[in-house]
Structure 1
Amino acid sequence: MASRAVLLVVLASSLLLCHERIKGERTLSTNEDIELMRQLKLMNKPAVQTIRTRYGDIYDCVDFYKQSAFDNILLKNHSYHFQMRPSSIPKKMIIEESSIKSVKIGLKRGCPIGTVPVKRTTKEDLLRVKLYRDSHGSKFSRFTREQPGLYHAIVRTNKPNQKYNGALSGINVYNPAVNRQQYSSGQMKVQNGHDQIQIGWTVNPAIYGDNRTRLFTFWQAGQTSCFDTRCPGFIITNRKIPLGSVISPISKPGEEVYLIFVRILRDRLSGNWWCFFGRDNIPIGYWPKSLFSGLAGPASYIDWGGEAFSPPGTRGPEMGSRLYPNHPMAQYHAFSCDIIITNEHYEDIDVVGIEEFTDLRERYGIKDVGFMNRKVRHVAFWGGTG
């Protein structure tokens, strides 16, 4: 697994410095500035249309074939089309509780047919990456669960010989308090060896520059790892739902409960890993099989729950609703529901035989409730004060 912890410390702690450098551009040599401009040109493809959201994000509607994914040399000899879809669309998620509401995210009208929305890269974004690389080299190092500052409150599979072709979950959406050097997420992960794919919501000012709750993905293939589409690999097919989108509204303890529904599925025919969003399983895009070694086949591990990070020696951030999962009322907790796996035969089944795991039980809790009913199915509560 890539050292997201180290990466985020450097990015976040350098954020203020980045602002100063951008304002004055006093620390960049001429050659460095030329190189940054070259990178900006490569990453910001010509736009057919530009969309600015009410949150200030700018998305360029880029010709499907010109998106940065195709800059990856591993994808050069493959055939693609902007109307590509998975070989089959999974059935609609079945949660219908009146007290549980799903959010709607994305661009209202979306990009024109044949184009996809790509978040515009700024010079500040590139400076963050440059500062990281200057300090730690161009490759990401790996970390373990013993890495200080990284905390989990999850339920996870514990049968390494099992094969999984995907997973799905509803995830209760919150906006935990974090500072510039921290992040806090509700997510789901599939993994095989060092290859992994994560999807869910996160509050991550080091990556997104604000404290809003956003839809995110994180993926690692060998020595390559990144969020969303910040490096070539993930192929966008959806015209309306960009990765990194702000999620609204969000849950508040004891009030309305809002969820996102996410699924990761290995396509039966191509072996590509598709990303779906919403109750209706709307395809967003996919990670081609050719990117991976471990995930070139089925996954061997899946987990669901919360993840939080803070620099070593500092107090961890809030996770989920901030409440430890021991309150008697479910609407006060962050939770993952509809915890389901897609097995090696492509059957969606309620997961059994999973285990609870938390790095810091006195601060972050996990409570596996198990199968509750046919509407919310398998549920796990998680969260904590940090």
Structure 2
Amino acid sequence: MKFFCKLIIIIFTVCVVQCRETVRNPNSVKVNEKIIYDCVDIYKQPSLSHPLLQNHKIQLKPSFSIPKPKDKSKSKIQGKKFIECSDGTVPILKNTIEYVTNAQHWAKKHFSPFTIDSHGTHIAGMRALPYQGPYHGVTALMSVHDLNISVDQASYTNIYVGSGVSDKVNFLQTGWMVNPALFGDGRTWSYGFWKGVNGTGCYNTICPGFIQVSRTDPLSIPIPYPRKGDRAIYISILQDKKSGNWWAVHVNYHVPDLNIGYWPKELFDLIGTNADMVGVLGAVQASPSGKSPPMGNGHLPTKHRKESARIENVKIIDSKFKDKEIRKYKLEKLLDSNKCYGLRPLPLIAVLTYGGPGGDSCGI
């Protein structure tokens, strides 16, 4: 009897340990019916199958430090992690046919920072032009908001780097997006988008390209609500001085920065060594009927910083890999529909407020 009781205790203990290990290191995590992440060997992730990356050696961490703002704002993510893969593995999106099809559809509509006029797209942002470059990155803290977006619309806010020659462009973007058709729900997601050699490229890891390094934070995932402070993300796109790879990084104030992963330099023929343009941008894609969705927090910006969607602490990584505040550059303002959206720079406190409600009269 004693032996039987001990056996039961041992079995129970093993089960508890295994259950805890399963929760801590899942083989897969299901976010919704369309979004499932598998924990895969970092050296066997699908992006390494890209023809341009056949001889690529994974860079496990960048060789730079992220510039942090002097003003330690309370705007930061403090939320539950959705995923925690085991050591040596990384979360990779499992692509369904429907998800890939939707991603390809929206990739064709995705706004290029080199095209001011784009059918059905409206923008509000600022950029530094080529004659002040070259550039090696941009970093910014941006407020994050929930929006009521229909299934045939999209709204997003991002930082970006890129270069363009004639009809050829290379660019990278990362930020947040609400796009029910792409993600399968109306939540606000972090995302990345790239366009490289021969115009190829796509969202996140839907096609080979982006190298995932973090085992806990994919490039694209629903953005959690903080326990305190504003809902915001502080993100960077930075080119590594040694490798030339373009890293996506979440900057933290009191803990080490989170290196999500990178876009290898081999994917690009115009930004392999630097970029000609950097900027911050809010953008929307209207429905085929012509109705435009809300941007930012869905309200026109005011002089009151806390009432508006905002992008702040923007810094540009210059030709010497030094970070400079964006207000030290001459900037081009981008606003194509002041009927529905607004843009208000607040240079004294280094904040850009933007956004608007959208509607039926925003123009094409």
Normalising by the residue count of structure 1, what TM-score does the alignment of the two structures yield?
0.77
Contact persistence 1:236–1:285 (CA under 8 A) = yes
Give the match's secondary structure for 2:201.
strand
Counterpart in 2 of 1:87?
Answer: 63
Query: Rg bigger for which structure?
Result: 2
Contact persistence 2:152–2:288 (CA under 8 A) = no
- By how many angstroms is 1:119 displaced? 1.8
Contact persistence 1:305–1:382 (CA under 8 A) = no
Counterpart in 2 of 1:113?
Answer: 87
Counterpart in 1 of 2:11?
Answer: none
Contact persistence 2:153–2:287 (CA under 8 A) = yes
Give the match's secondary structure for 1:102.
coil
Counterpart in 2 of 1:264?
Answer: 237
Counterpart in 2 of 1:357?
Answer: 334
- By how many angstroms is 1:322 displaced? 1.2
Aligned pair 1:316/2:292, yes or no? yes
Matches within 5 A, 1:48-67: 49-53=27-31, 57-67=35-45
Equivalent residue for 1:293, pick from 269, 273, 277: 269
- By how many angstroms is 1:101 displaced? 2.7
- By how many angstroms is 1:288 displaced? 0.6
Contact persistence 1:333–1:381 (CA under 8 A) = yes
Q: Which amino acid aligns with 1:212?
A: R
- By how many angstroms is 1:52 displaced? 3.3
Distance 1:339 1:161, change over 3 A: closer
Distance 1:78 1:334, change over 3 A: same
Counterpart in 2 of 1:71?
Answer: 49
Aligned pair 1:190/2:168, yes or no? no
Distance 1:64 1:183, change over 3 A: same
Distance 1:290 1:148, change over 3 A: same
- Listed one character per residue, the Cα deviations across residues 78-104 of structure 1 (whole Å, up to 9, x for unaligned) are 2226xx11112324444423xx33114
Give the match's secondary structure for 2:136.
strand
* More displaced stretch, 140-149 vs 70-79: 140-149
- Listed one character per residue, the Cα deviations across residues 340-380 of structure 1 (whole Å, up to 9, x for unaligned) are 101011111111211321111121111111141xxxxx210
Matches within 5 A, 1:217-256: 217-222=192-197, 223-249=199-225
Distance 1:125 1:189, change over 3 A: same
1: CA distance between counterparts of 2:242 and 2:34?
39
- Listed one character per residue, the Cα deviations across residues 276-321 of structure 1 (whole Å, up to 9, x for unaligned) are 0132431100111111011112111111131111135512100111
Distance 1:357 1:295, change over 3 A: same
1: CA distance between counterparts of 2:35 and 2:115?
34
Give the match's secondary structure for 1:226.
coil
Contact persistence 1:106–1:245 (CA under 8 A) = no
2: CA distance between counterparts of 1:315 and 1:101?
32
Query: What is the number of equivalent residue pairs in this alignment?
Result: 323
Q: Please list every run of 5 or more consecutive structure 1 residues that lacks an aligned counterpart in the other structure.
A: 1-46, 373-377
Contact persistence 1:69–1:234 (CA under 8 A) = yes
- By how many angstroms is 1:188 displaced? 0.7
Aligned pair 1:206/2:177, yes or no? no
- Listed one character per residue, the Cα deviations across residues 26-76 of structure 1 (whole Å, up to 9, x for unaligned) are xxxxxxxxxxxxxxxxxxxxx981223489842110011111111101011
Contact persistence 2:34–2:183 (CA under 8 A) = no
2: CA distance between counterparts of 1:230 and 1:300?
27
**Backbone CA RMSD of aligned residues:** 2.9
Q: Which amino acid aligns with 1:165?
A: H
Contact persistence 2:80–2:224 (CA under 8 A) = no
Q: Please list every run of 5 or more consecutive structure 2 residues that lacks an aligned counterpart in the other structure.
A: 1-24, 359-364
- By how many angstroms is 1:124 displaced? 2.3
2: CA distance between counterparts of 1:61 and 1:104?
23
2: CA distance between counterparts of 1:89 and 1:50?
32
Distance 1:74 1:300, change over 3 A: same
Contact persistence 1:92–1:281 (CA under 8 A) = no
Q: Which amino acid aligns with 1:382?
A: Y
Counterpart in 2 of 1:33?
Answer: none
2: CA distance between counterparts of 1:109 and 1:311?
33
Percent sequence identity over matched residues? 30
Counterpart in 2 of 1:8?
Answer: none
Distance 1:200 1:258, change over 3 A: same
Give the match's secondary structure for 2:314.
strand
Q: Which amino acid aligns with 2:127?
A: R
Give the match's secondary structure for 1:295.
coil
- By how many angstroms is 1:108 displaced? 5.3
Matches within 5 A, 1:335-346: 335-346=310-321
Distance 1:171 1:382, change over 3 A: same
- By how many angstroms is 1:107 displaced? 3.4
Equivalent residue for 1:169, pick from 124, 134, 140: 140
Counterpart in 2 of 1:96?
Answer: 72
